[in-house]
Each structure stands twice: as C-alpha cells, then as structure tokens.
Chain A
Amino acid sequence: QITLKESGPTLVKPTQTLTLTCTFSGFSLSTSGVGVGWIRQPPGKALEWLALIYWNDDKRYSPSLKSRLTITKDTSKNQVVLSMTNMDPVDTATYYCAHSLTIFGVVMDAFDIWGQGTMVTVSS
C-alpha cells in the first residue's frame, strides 16, 4: 500500500525559504519508473503543479516558479524535499506530494496516490 505524508512549517514569514518534506512508504524512488511530485492549492483556487523528481534524479519544475524551487530525494529515508525561496503571501496554500502514475513500468505525467496535504500560511 502506497502512502505519502507531507511535513513542514505551517507558518513562514515573507522572504523566508519554505522547506517541505514528503515521507512515503510502499515504493522506492530507486526503482525504475518511479516519480514523486509536488502540487499546491491556494484556498478556494485551482491545483498548481510545482515539481517532479524521478528515480533517475531527473527533475522537472513549473516554468513560472523554476527560479525559486529545488526538489531533491533521499532514497535511504524514503523522502522527497521541496524548497521554495522568497516566500510571499500569495504562496499561501495547501501543499501536496503525490506518487507518479506508472503503467507497465512507464511513468506517466500524472499522480495516482496523494498525500493528505499540508497547509502553509505566509504572513509576517
């Protein structure tokens, strides 16, 4: 059974760096065809994809946020970490991590299992 859980601060100040950790079980990021992504959702608004990291350390970022994002993995700890610099109140959102859908060993650009999400508020 695959599970993911996000953790990190619930409140950050403007200009600070946000660091979120996704701790997962039921799969390994060292297995071919596996990926983990981050998606966020401001209150009352739509989902927004942020970043993806694959088993081979290939990394993808949202073009609009690329300069502020860093995604890394720690295979031994079954964790994926997302850092976002220069936080602003508009970054207030629920942040989700999710497992990439894999079909017959081929990773798809979609997410089949999601964490519960963690709410992050940016305020001074």
Chain B
Amino acid sequence: SYELTQPPSVSVSPGQTARITCSADALPKQFGYWYQQKPGQAPVLLIYKDTERPSGIPERFSGSSSGTTVTLTISGVQAEDEADYYCQSADSSGTYVLFGGGTKLTVL
C-alpha cells in the first residue's frame, strides 16, 4: 500500500532550525501539504502546494520539495511550536488522500 513516511520524532533547542521530512514515491507528481496539531486541537494547515504558506502562518514555517521528499522547515523554533506535524498528499493518480504517520516536535 502507498504510504507517506515521516520520522516519528524530532528534537530541537529554541532558536534553532527544525527540519521534518516526508517521503513517498508519488511526491514528484503530487503536491505535499503540512499540518500542525497541538494536543486537543484540530490540525492547522501550515504549507500547501509544497512551498506556499496560507495567510496568518508565521514566516518561520517554510516548505520545500526535492524528488520523492518534501520537507517542512521551522526556522528559529519557539516553545509554542512543540506539536505534532503531519504531511499529506495524494496517490499518483490523485484518486485518494494520504496522511503521513506524524512527527512529534519536541522543543528542548
């Protein structure tokens, strides 16, 4: 079955840069999206179409894409960025939606 693969956890000190990757064979054909989810809350869209940021999302959140991997970069990490992050895309034919397994970001 088709999957989006994320690291289970990433740790970073405040002010440093965190990078969370998401890999899948179809990513060169399909856009990648990123969501942030804090405990007890619904997910929030952070990045769409690999690199675009919705209005209201801080500039420290950015996205990039290379081959079969999309990456979420958080520059100057703040304590409030501690959350679960999910990538999302579609299968190669665009028929169905997939979420990655999620990455827990810990701010040390």
Interface residues of A (CB under 8 A from B): 37, 39, 46-49, 52, 60-64, 96, 101, 103, 108-112, 114-117
Contacts and interface: CB of A to CB of B under 8 A. Distances in A.
Contacts of B90: 109
B42 A115 contact: yes
A61 B86 contact: no
B97 interface: yes
Contact of A111 (B45, B89, B94): B45
Given A52-B97, A61-B96, A115-B42, A47 B31 contact: no
Contact of B97 (A37, A64, A112, A116): A37
A115 to B, nearest CB: 7
Nearest to B6: A46
13 contacts: A47-B43, A47-B86, A47-B102, A49-B96, A62-B96, A63-B1, A103-B49, A108-B31, A108-B49, A109-B88, A109-B94, A110-B97, A114-B43
Contacts of B31: 108-110
A47 B103 CA distance: 11
Interface of A, helix, strand, loop or mixed by DSSP: strand
Nearest to B30: A109
Contact of A112 (B54, B86, B89): B54
Contact of A46 (B30, B86, B97): B86
A60 B98 CA distance: 12
Interface string B88-108: 111000111111111000000
Contacts of A108: 31, 33, 48-49
A48 B88 contact: no
Contacts of A109: 30-31, 88-90, 94, 97
Contacts of B42: 96, 114-117
